[in-house]
Chains A and B, each alone.
Chain A
């Protein structure tokens, strides 16, 4: 018992001393992100967005009568097992009043039960898997989920591309791809469309040759091909499709959204479309302001994750303002009432299932650049 106290006492004293050194007036917000590891760009960019939002909130006078926000950022190395320790630290040691994080759904799914058990609201900027927010009533998201995105793709095909007959080529290994395929098909076929042919491939660098699947898709003579995959494969698929003489447009979801897509696919992708969260070319002044400020601060163009991080922090700030306190339950209640919040990634309304109901952006690929095509409202 004595040794036990001897071990615990210094730790307790240290935390006590640490808690004294941090300014008592600050509102502590915890954030966990993949700053290192395989998905480092996701975490770095989204946390840049969060930091930009914090700066703007603070310079606009802070929250709750001038209190500043202090963000404690923890790295999870893009590794499962890390988020649970990081989030427990953020809640128990740093006394965060809310948690922001992750882009990857698998890591949000690990952190969500901890936040739920501690009754601390958690906002994920970019986890699109529908399961994340079903963990509990303290878990929110500011991005659209895969269900909406699948429907948005179907609506874009029916209303903008004006096609009735579509073929699908999906990644059998990715839950994301399977989800988009299912929700797309549901909406498309129930609104007068026909899915002529469905084929699959193995993503993650396994399959490199898609000619067999593409030949069978071609024989079904579709008006367009829906490819809910990631950019690495999509670029190759587009090249091989054009070489087989498939001229119809290809379209997909936010898995396409990477500068590498055009680098791999080249001119084969001209006239192809994908849905995503945000476009730097969106004429909306809110978006243009964000792009300008982000470039001034970080010297690079923001990608899709940065504005999501920005909106997550802004919505949290708004909720703290509405709640009028840093009480976790009051912030949670305020978050459920967020309605038509004008964010960089569109007008955001939090629905009854704590998902963001918001518009998706459709981009057209033209000679290696992504042009803003249209917006699909929720």
Chain B
């Protein structure tokens, strides 16, 4: 019971923190603000992919595809129908914009979830490498379809999207994502996900409908990827199909693996770390106290970034937080789990 309350308090505290930080956002350098928003978006992407790859053990490489659907649907909704909806909500006051933004993000998330369902039902009967290839192919199909859809700009990209994304929305939604994923894992569904991951045959033998749990994880993960896509589209105000290629999926997978598969805190920390690292490396070549050679190498920041990834994987193959003791032991001693927890 105490733990349940703690989770809710943490969520509330995070949302309040997001609101406070957002209140001061005009005082923050717009570059840092952009990085802070990217951190939030990457946390949502990584935590939601972790639900599929980490907790349920299904290796998906199509997360960028779901993000693309969310980004394009949300952008299309707010660009094509935003003005009409704003009028219906009563003008351009912050509350109407907030309501519109929630609506378009939900639209993007739901579209991605439907796509997750469509691709998940047939393909989740596959395992391991086969599933990875199918999801990879699916992500590419989405990208090519968008590239050939002239209504959203095709290969030109979609420009002129309203810049609704603020620090508050990003961080509040990131906190909500973490809260919901953690709650889901602690629920009976979570037991189902973990059983499917640990031993699928044993799970089947116990009467667990493994396909159903896999599809649920997939659809929920896709939903949050779609919401993240919507936030991203309304943050950069311009999206291009080539930004959602399989490289983007790999980036998210790296966050999950680096954070430790199946550790929400670790994955969120990895998302923060990698986003900050990539941006921080921009400054290294500008430090005049560094030797010339180091600065020259630092100019190509991707080299350092890759070296850090290799070093982290060698030093902590289990992921950043992967080795922390599980809470599970305390749980088993108290079998009367509140199903709503």
Contacts and interface: CB of A to CB of B under 8 A. Distances in A.
B interface SS class: helix
Contacts of B283: 18
A36 B236 contact: no
A74 B34 CA distance: 16
Given A4-B24, A81-B236, A175-B156, 5 more contacts: A4-B21, A72-B286, A85-B31, A93-B31, A109-B156
Contacts of B300: 35-36, 75
A135 B311 CA distance: 43
Contacts of B157: 80, 106, 109-110
Nearest to B232: A81
B26 interface: no
23 contacts: A21-B288, A35-B300, A72-B286, A73-B299, A79-B247, A80-B239, A81-B232, A81-B236, A81-B243, A84-B236, A88-B33, A89-B279, A92-B31, A92-B32, A93-B29, A106-B240, A109-B157, A109-B159, A109-B238, A110-B236, A113-B159, A173-B147, A174-B155
A129 interface: yes
A35 B285 CA distance: 14
B30 interface: yes
Contact of B29 (A72, A84, A85, A92): A92
A interface SS class: helix
Nearest to B236: A84
Given A4-B24, A91-B31, A106-B240, A131 B38 contact: no
Interface residues on B, range: 35 or more
B214 interface: no
A296 interface: no
B38 A1 contact: no
A79 to B, nearest CB: 7
B279 A85 contact: yes
B20 interface: yes
Interface in B302-340: 302
Contacts of A80: 157, 238-240, 242-243
Interface residues on A, range: 35 or more
Given A35-B300, A91-B30, A85 B35 contact: yes
B184 to A, nearest CB: 28
B292 to A, nearest CB: 16
Contacts of B29: 15, 92-93
Contact of A11 (B24, B32, B239, B288): B32
A213 interface: no
A105 B34 CA distance: 22
Complex A-B, nearest 7 residue pairs according to Cβ-Cβ distance, in ascending order: A80-B243, A88-B31, A92-B31, A80-B240, A89-B31, A110-B238, A92-B29
A132 B286 CA distance: 30
Nearest to A113: B237
Contacts of B147: 173
B154 interface: yes
B83 interface: no
Contact of A8 (B28, B30, B35, B154): B28
Contact of B20 (A4, A72, A135, A173): A4
A79 B157 CA distance: 13
Contacts of B243: 79-81
A267 interface: no
A77 interface: yes
A118 B154 CA distance: 27
Contacts of A8: 28
Nearest to A73: B299
A26 B30 CA distance: 23
B301 interface: yes
Contacts of B33: 88
A74 B282 contact: yes
Nearest to A110: B238
